[in-house]
Structure formats: structure tokens, C-alpha cells
Structure 1
Amino acid sequence: MASESNTVTVLYYHQSDMTSICTDVLENLKVEPDKRVIFPRSYREDKIIIAVLDGNCHVRNSLGDRSLFS
């Protein structure tokens, strides 16, 4: 089965500052047949990846935050 490319939203902490969750939207990443997304090694450096979400997601709030949209 051939691999595909996808857009994902990544939730992560910087290793040097774990006080707030950061997000990035990445496009055209290789996705293996088992749905595992392949990140370039350079992207993973200095990050603790918490979650990988399908598509371009907007995080309304995270741990300790209140929603600005309510």
C-alpha cells in the first residue's frame, strides 16, 4: 500500500519551557499505511510532542486557559 501526504496539527511542549502548549500546522507530511505521520528529525528537535491531530485544527483552550470565544 502506498503512503500518502497529509495536513496535521501538532500539539507540543518546548523542552526548555514546558509551561504552555504550542501548536503547529504541518502540510504535505508523509503518512505511513498504518496512519503514522513521519516528521523530519529537524522538526522534532527540542519538542515533546503531545498529540497529532488530523487537519488544520484551532485549539480554543488548553490546560488552565479559558476560551476567548465564549
Structure 2
Amino acid sequence: MTGDPGCGSTGIPELRRCCRIALGSASELEYHFLLARDLGFLPPAVNEDRAGQVVEVKHMLAGIIGRLQPVAGGLMAES
């Protein structure tokens, strides 16, 4: 498990960076589930469920990263 000591900092750029790190870690985890499936380490139903959860988290992180992107005028998009 890798951690980034700077992820406890405040500020939008730091939060965006930490979310990108988390997205990369989620992609690694997704790969590990694919590998576990291919090697037969997990029952297919369990693997499919867990891999689906990882994809869900990746979508959430991508949404957060998108909301944290600067827009014209230097403000974040508002809902």
C-alpha cells in the first residue's frame, strides 16, 4: 500500500492531486482483480462484484476530479 504524506494538506490543487493518486491506485486494484480472475484465485461471482465496485469508485473519483478542475475565471463549476 502506498500513501502520500502530502494528501493531508489543504487546498484544491492538493485535493485534486490526491484524487488522481487514488484513481491510479484504483486502476491498479482493477488490474489485480483481472489477474485474480485469470488465475482462478477468486470465484467468478465474487470477482465480478468486487471489480464492479472498483469501477464504481473510479467513476466517483473521476467525477470529483472533474469538479475540481479550474474553469474560466478561476472558479470551480457550481451545481
Greater RCO structure (CA 8 Å; 6+ sep): 1
> TM-score normalised by the shorter chain: which range applies?
under 0.3
Q: Which has the higher strand share?
A: 1
Report the TM-score, using the length of structure 1 for normalisation: 0.21
* TM value normalised by structure 2: 0.20
Question: Would you tell me which structure has more helix in proportion to its own residues?
Answer: 2
